[in-house]
Amino acid sequence: MKKTLFLAFTGVALLSACTPSKDSLAAADTNDDVILHAWSWSFDTIAANMKDIAAAGYAYVQTSPANTCFVGENGGMALYSNPGDSVTGKWYYYYQPTDWKIGNYLLGTRDQFKAMMDSAAKYNVKVIVDVLPNHTAVDHTAVLPDLDAAVGGHEKLFHANGFNDIIDYNDRYQCTTGKMGGLPDVNTENPDFQHYYMTYVNDLLSLGVKGFRYDTAKHIGLPSDPLDSLATRNNFWDVATGREAVKGLRLAVPADSLFIYGEVLQDKNVKETEYAEYMDLTASAYGHALRSVLDKSDFKADSLLNWHHPVDGKHLVTWVESHDTYANEHESAGLTDEQIRMGWVFLAARQNGTPLFFSRPAGSTRENYWGNNRVGARGNDEFKHPEVVAVNRFRRDMKGQPETVSATDNGAVIEVARGNAGVALINISASEQDIENLPTTLPDGTYIDKVNQQSFTVSNGAVSGHLSPFKSYLLYSK
């Protein structure tokens, strides 16, 4: 069911118009899990940190692409190098497939992947793999012979339009068949390719993988999209999600037992609702709105009570930032770790959406986005910061509790109330904030928050207390 929240103005706060009364809070449909995006961590590094990942409350860890990829800059292991740097390399080479088999020089071998999966099973963490069937390496001559042979020859690997640059991303024919950013477009409708790709997917599943993120998903055609001249049906998504078999091969486990979502970045003429028939989707516009609120330290700077998306929040993956917003044009990289953390607390405290926490590079600062600048290394400690861990647990503890979102008049403090059971208070500003009479659903009483041991008082349905700059506070009624 699609739910939309509207702003209603009062003298002290912005309140959801569907605020439930304290006496009639029925159980609600909720998303309860969170994802750690272990961006550019090697398989060995993820395995070595699996205990901490589990202890921090993540149900899922998402890897970077595991497929065989183009070896760039003589195999250098820098996240990003400039001419003259002593260590060369680029993180994005693993987004340039040369074959669809497990293992690459940046993240590790198939055996190392399997060892990571064994560690995940030990700590009951589910693994999502970033997959990208849409394109090959920029240098398509680097495609390996096994792949060429499997699809019927090199020329059959690509769409007829696959070497023509996309000029208009809102033209669905160009978008789903053309070359994006120099990456030749694979003929994902070729049954021989589909069979080869699904063999890779099923190999991942055989090792225990529990989900997939489909990179550049909006560049793979839907049944309603125009056909490339080398395609007879746009049926890739039916095959990828197990609705159809291809040459006798089907997705090895039911799709509804997996967490599958697609990177369908929002723009004009993007068929979000049709993509959503196959998988969950990324809430890219919502992330932009949240970053605007954080940048301005004002809840009222953009609307956060609707998902900026035609698909219900239950089926959206949310983030404060993604690897693209951080690493490509550095759109989000100027936000401090504290601001990102406050945004995360807001997302994770909410009733719906499945939040994804992007792991920034170790040693990164707002002047040096690449930090220690090594592919394979663990990110910084933010993924297990006490406030992050606390809200990850809060989210699970609030299972079935409906949300009420409100804020102070100045927009500096956001409250996410979850039924009568708990409240997250978030100071998104660089200033001390004293709140008085902020409406809440908590029962009257004195509360000590779970993170900072700060005291708050609830009286006559309103909460009062003191909040330090860029700090969050979690209050439980039991």
User: Are 404 and 20 within 8 A, CB to CB?
Assistant: yes
Ramachandran angles phi, psi of 273, nearest 5°: -65, -35
Average pLDDT over every residue of 393-398: 98
**First and final C-alpha spacing in the chain:** 30
Residue 406 has pLDDT above 70, yes or no: yes
pLDDT single digits (tens) 92-118: 999 999 999 999 999 999 999 999 999
Cα distance between residue 391 and residue 346, in whole Å: 9
Q: Looking at residue 16, what is its pLDDT?
A: 41
Q: Give residue-wise pLDDT tens across range 238-279.
A: 999 999 999 999 999 999 999 999 999 999 889 999 999 999
Confidence check: pLDDT of 345 > 80: yes
Output the CA angle 86-92-93, nearest 5 degrees: 80
Q: What is the DSSP string of 240-302?
A: HTTSS-BTTB--SS-GGGSEEEE-----TT--HHHHTTTSEEE-HHHHHHHHHHHHHT-GGGS
Q: pLDDT (tens digit, 9 = 90+) per residue, 283-330?
A: 999 999 999 999 999 999 999 999 999 999 999 999 999 999 999 989
pLDDT of residue 221: 98
Contact call for residues 361 and 371 (beta carbons, < 8 A): yes
- Give the Å distances, CA to CA, from 138 to 158, 181, 183, 185, 201: 12, 8, 5, 10, 23
Residue boundaries of the structural domains of the chain: 31-283+353-397
14 pLDDT above the threshold of 90: no
Sheet holding 433-439, edge to edge: 433-439, 462-467, 455-459, 445-448
User: With contact defined as beta carbons under 8 Å apart, do 471 and 452 qualify?
Assistant: yes
Question: What's the chain's average pLDDT?
Answer: 94
Indicate the angle between helix axes 284-296 and 337-349, nearest 10 degrees. Answer: 130
CATH numeric code, 31-283+353-397: 3.20.20.80
Q: How big is the chain, counted in residues?
A: 478
Decide if pLDDT at 23 tops 50.
no
Q: Calculate mean pLDDT across residues 408-432.
A: 98
| 196, pLDDT greater than 80 | yes
- Which of 24-33, 88-97, 191-200, 424-433 is predicted with the least confidence, judged by mean pLDDT? 24-33
What is the spatial distance between Cα 280 and Cα 283, in angstroms, rounded to a whole number?
Answer: 10
Question: What does the alpha-carbon distance between residue 15 and residue 415 come to, in Å, rounded to a whole number?
Answer: 10
Distance CA(26)–CA(275), nearest Å, equals: 31
Q: Give residue 360's Cα distance to chain centre.
A: 13
Catalytic residue ranges: 215, 263
Amino acid of residue 91: W
Spatial separation of the C-alpha atoms in residues 235 and 133, rounded to whole Å: 13
Q: Tokens at residue 167, please?
A: 């000029």
